[in-house]
Structure formats: C-alpha cells, structure tokens
Amino acid sequence: MYLTIRAIVFGILLSFTWAVVATAQNGGDSKKNNQSNTTDQKSQPSTDAYYLVDSLNDGIPTSDSSPDLSTPLATVENFIFACREKDFARAAQSLNFKLIPQDQRDQAAYLAENFYYVLNQRLWVDIEDLPDRADGQVINRIGKQDPMAGKPRKSIRLGVINIDDWKEVRVRLQRVKVGDGVPIWLFSAQTVEKIPALYQEYGPSWVEEAMPAWAKTRLAGKVPIWEWFALFVFVAAGVCVGYVTQGVAGYAILHRQRKERLWIERLIDDLRVPVAVASAALTTYLLKQAFLSLTGPVNTVVDPVMLLVVVGAIAWAVLRGLDVATSFTMDRYVNTLKDDIEGAEQGLLTKISIARRLVALVAVFVVVGVVLIQLNIFDAVGYGLLASAGVTTVILGIAAQPILGNLLAGLQIAITQPVRIGDSVLFEGHWGHVEGIKFTYLTIRTWDKRRLIVPLQYLISKPVENWTKVNEDLTRPIKVYVDYTTDVQIIREKFQEMATQHELWDQDSEPIVQVTDCSDESMEVRALCHAKSPADAWNLHCEMREKLIAFVQDLESGKYLPRERIRMLSETAQGNGKQASHSDR
C-alpha cells in the first residue's frame, strides 16, 4: 500500500512539473501577448515584435521636447524623470491613451501625475532589469539566466497592483507602431485605463493632505517624515496592546484556584507570548492599512514583513496549543508507559502526534505562501522561471524522495496504525515502548533506557512485533532441559502450583507444561507463562524459570538434571566378548 501511494504521489509530481514546463515553454509567452492585445490593436505576424495601431495619443497636450521612447528603459526613465521635474505633460508621452475617451485626453498630464503617485506607493520598478534595446531583448548575465533571452518582445510586465484584494492591474510596457513610423514603447492602454481606479484606491488619504509641507519632506527610503512618525506610533500602539494581552493572561493564571483545571493554566501560560506577539503585530498592521500607505520601495518590504509576523504569530499560537494538548495527554497516559493504557487512547495519541506535525508543516507552507504572494514572487517569476527551473525541479523531487517517503509513511501510520504511541514492540531484536512519532522518524524507548531512532519509511517496510496491538496480555515461554528419566507430571504439577500463587499470573489462563523437543542427552520441557501486560509477562517468566530450575535441582538431589552418558569399552572386554561397562556423567 505504501509503495503504491508513494509511486502515485511521485508520478503526479513529475507529471505536474513537466506539464508546467511544457506550458511555460510553448504557451507562456503567447498567453501574455494575447492578454495584452485589444480589439483595436492589430497584431502583426509573429516575426514583427510590435502592435500596429491606427493612431496614437491624439488630443493629448504636447510637450516642449520629444522624449526618447525607443526602448523600455528609455520610456520608464522618461516617465520617472519627467514626473520628478513636475513636467507631467512630458511624462504623459510615455502613456498609451488609446482606451481613454477623446474628451478626457486633455487630462493626460493629470493622469500621469496620478499614475506616478500610485507607482511610487505600490510598485517597486527596478530599472536595472529593463532592456535597453528597441526590440526588448534581454541578454543573459553571469548568475542570472532569462528564458526570454535572445527573443524580440512586444510586451513586458513590470508588476501587479491589487485593487480590493481580488482585482489585479498588470502594469505593462508595450511596443506599438503607427503606420510606417518607428515603433516606440509605452505603458499599455490597459494599464492607463485603470489609472483612475488605482488612484482612487491608493491616492493620498485625508491625513496626508492635512500634513504641512515640512512633514512631507522625504528622508530615508524616500519616505516622508510624517509617515515614519506614524509608523512608529502604530508600532508603539501594537506593543502596548501586546503587553496588555500578556498581562491579562498572567493575571488569569495567578488568580485561578481550581487545581483540577491545571491544563487551562498551562495552555494560557504557553499561549500568552505568541498571542501577545500576534495582537501587537495585528494591531500595527490594521492601523497601518487603515491610515497609512508608505511611499516607495519601503512599502514593498514593510507590508510583507508585518504580515509575516502576524501570520507567523498566529501559526505559533496554534502550534503551541497543539503542543499543550499533546503534552498534557502524553503526560497523563503515555510518558509513564503504564500497562493499563487503553488501545483507543494510544490510537488517539498517535493521531494527535502525527496531526500536530502535519499541521506544523502546513503552517510553515501557509506562512511562506502568504509572504510570497504579498511580495508577488509568483507573478515576478512567471512562466519563464518555471520553464528554466523545470529540470532542477525534477532533480530536487528525486532528491527529496526520502523526505517525501517518510512524510507519507507518517501519514500511513496515522491512518492504519500498525504501531501507536505507548505500544510495546519488538523491532529487530530491540524490545521497548513507542515513545513518540515525529515527522520522519519514530522513537522506541528500550527496556534499558536507550532510544532507538527508526525512520518511518524503514519501519513500515520491515516486520515489527507489536505486543499490544489488539490487547495487553502476553504469553512468554520457559524452556527447561531435563534427563529422560524425569517424570514430567511432577514438573507440571509444581509449575501449576507456582503459577496460581504468583501475583503476576493471569488467572484467566491455565498453566501449560509440554515436552516440545529432545536431544541425545535430554528432553526439552516448555512451560507457558501468561500475564496481563508485556512487562508483567517478562518479569513473570524470569521468576518462574528461576524457580523451576531450582525445583529440578532439588528434586532427588539433582538426579534429573541433564547428563551426558559415556560408554567405556576395555580391551579385555572387547577381546572376550563380555558386556562392556558404562558410566554416567
């Protein structure tokens, strides 16, 4: 079953990887271009890397100078530098107003100003990564391989800005050509069309508009003074909320008198730090989202970091809660390894232990995923990176087989439960109790206090004796070797007498004594010891063996102990044909 599950999962991973690679290599670039094309933009054959349009930016105010828009880098630089110089009419030359109504194009400079404000707030454009070629080609550099290298492009995505947490605006550059003119690069018509919505979402708040001019002076990270001050105030408020939360939790612990609810105090004590951190981070994050939008690249770092702290603290609190529940239950039922632990409780503990680790693993993936989504990492890498990393993904998948195998083995153990926490097992000659089940291994505490660490994948592929799988009672054999002249019935009666009088004997079972084997000098007598637990069975059969051997030794002064018989033939006896003498030893 395990091998089947492993093969299916690994096959799915390989199939998915190759499907993504094929999609990326064959359809990724085509998909991007199709999304960027509109009904009034007629694309040329694939050999022409530009969009052919009938007209361009008719009706917008003209600028005193003609900007350089021949390359993606030149277009972005013209827009940024012109906006910094407050020449928004020249900055508007970098925008494609094809989808803006004709009667609104006189507001081109105003739209350019609004677009610059939004970009400054929400998008970090690294101009060093923009190609400075008319055909938009990129050149591979040492340590950075681009799958689009050497291919002419007519559309380049700079990033994504979210609206209302579910609408996305893709900020793109497109290469367009009017008639027989020279192709130029502009911010796409689809991007320009969304400027009013973007500005409405991320435009200056009433707080920013009320600030005096000196408070808007930009300092470190190109962030105004008032924004740094507001961020400091919000962080201080969050810290205060965290301290109050921790103080309330401490007060609740000190003033509880009900000792029978000790686990509640333990839960509160373990949760107060992560809950305090989560409260502080969440308060700071909500205040910032409501009243503050940091300017420039600082915002692209602060938001994900704050969200990481919030999500991480919540995940920390959840894991702490699971830890308390697991530890409390194990302290009560398992850590003492009592023999009266119920099978249902063992199964529950096993499921809790494995579920806790699976939840921890999921929590890590969720935290990392949230941060990557907030950073738009998936949008940044695009299909090209997936295509270039396809082979690497397959190699990593093969290398991760042992880890994946152990994780799947842990899931299989949780479902089928061949062993459970607290079970008494014999594995490859080592007897002990299952002390814990981790992500990838299982711990067996042996009878001599050693810890045997067994990988889960190895465990389920090898035979293991579980002495408490169905019930606790166990039978242990005793083997005693006696002479052929021994009356076995005497031994049987003595064993029955000793068994019924022993406190560890399971009174529901009858003492059994049998002759199970023989050799040239002796016969093997086996007595079966029955006890209600593996530990009792071990101690019982050791004591009964000792007493049974002592009984045989004392029986007629050891007459029935195993002995070796030697026949001695003298030369005279051999010559006269007389019966040879013999002696016992």
- Residue 399 binned pLDDT confidence (cut-offs 50, 70, 90): low
Domain ranges for the chain, please list them.
37-203, 220-416, 424-466, 474-566
CA dist 32 and 477 (Å) reads 75
Tens digit of each residue's pLDDT (9 = 90 or more) over 7-32: 444 454 445 444 444 444 444 444 44
Residue with the bigger pLDDT between 64 and 423: it is 423
**Candidate ranges 30-39, 290-299, 367-376, 488-497; pick with highest mean pLDDT:** 488-497
Higher confidence at residue 453 or residue 26?
453
Instruction: Give the alpha-carbon dihedral of 544, 546, 551, 552, to 10 degrees.
Output: 110
pLDDT at 481: 93
101-113 pLDDT per residue, tens: 888 888 899 999 9
Q: What is the pLDDT of residue 364?
A: 75
Return the percentage of the chain with pLDDT > 90, whole number. 19
First to last CA, the chain: 59
User: Of the candidates 431, 453, 429, 430, which has an alpha carbon nearest to the alpha carbon of residue 441?
Assistant: 453
Residue 212 has pLDDT above 90, yes or no: no
Q: Do 508 and 531 touch, CB atoms closer than 8 A? A: no
Average pLDDT over residues 350-359: 71
pLDDT at 257 over 70: no
CA neighbor of 296 nearest in space, from 371, 204, 221? 221
429: left (phi over 0), alpha (psi -120 to 50) or beta: left
Over range 432-460, report the average pLDDT: 87
Instruction: State the average pLDDT for the chain.
Output: 76
Among 252-256, 382-386, 538-542, 571-575, the range with the most confident prediction by mean pLDDT is: 538-542
Q: What is the CA radius of gyration of the chain?
A: 40
Looking at residue 144, the DSSP 8-state letter turns out to be B
The predicted structure's pLDDT at residue 45: 37
Instruction: Put residue 86 in one of left, alpha, beta given phi > 0 → left and psi -120 to 50 → alpha.
Output: left
Question: One-letter amino acid identity for 440?
Answer: T
* pLDDT for res 369: 74
More confident residue, 521 or 373: 521
Q: Which of 14-28, 190-204, 471-485 has the lowest average pLDDT?
A: 14-28
Residue 453's DSSP bridge partners are 443
Least confident of 30-34, 57-61, 150-154, 224-228: 30-34
pLDDT given at position 141: 57
Distance CA 104, CA 116 (A): 18
Residue range 219-250, pLDDT digits in tens:
665 667 777 788 788 888 888 988 888 788 77
- pLDDT at position 211, please? 76
Whether the Cβ atoms of residue 78 and residue 91 lie closer than 8 Å to each other: yes
**CA distances (Å), 439 to each of 228, 354, 384, 411, in order?**
43, 7, 34, 9
**Residue 308 CB-half CA count within 13 A:** 15
Cβ atoms of 21 and 28 closer than 8 Å: no
Distance CA 530, CA 142 (A): 74
Check if the beta carbon of residue 432 is closer than 8 Å to that of residue 337. Answer: no
User: 474-566 has which fold?
Assistant: Alpha-Beta Plaits (3.30.70)
| DSSP H or E segment with residue 453 | strand 451-455
More confident residue, 296 or 407: 407
Instruction: Tell me: pLDDT of 337 over 50.
Output: no
Query: Is the pLDDT assigned to residue 583 strictly greater than 60?
Result: no
Angle at 415 between CA 439 and CA 404, to 5 degrees: 35
DSSP-derived 3-state class of residue 528: strand
Q: What is the pLDDT of residue 147?
A: 57
Element housing 362 (H / E): helix 343-374
Domain 424-466 - what CATH class? Answer: mainly beta
Residue with tokens 């814990």: 436
Q: What is the mean pLDDT of residues 125-132?
A: 82
Residue 163 in this model has a pLDDT that exceeds 90: no
pTM: 0.50
243-265 b/e with 16+ CB inside 10 Å = b?
eebbeebeeeeeeeeeeeeeeee
The number of helix segments (H) and strand segments (E) in the chain equals 19, 15
Predicted local confidence at residue 26, as pLDDT? 44
Question: Which structure tokens are listed for 565?
Answer: 């018989």
Please give the pLDDT value at position 23. 43
Q: Report d(CA 437, CA 443) in Å as an integer.
A: 6
- Asked whether the predicted pLDDT for residue 309 surpasses 70, the reply is yes
542 band by pLDDT with thresholds 50, 70 and 90: very high
Query: Does residue 6 register a pLDDT over 70?
Result: no
pLDDT at 544: 92
| 1-15, 365-379, 511-525: range with highest mean pLDDT | 511-525
What's residue 65's pLDDT? 79
Amino acid at 219: L
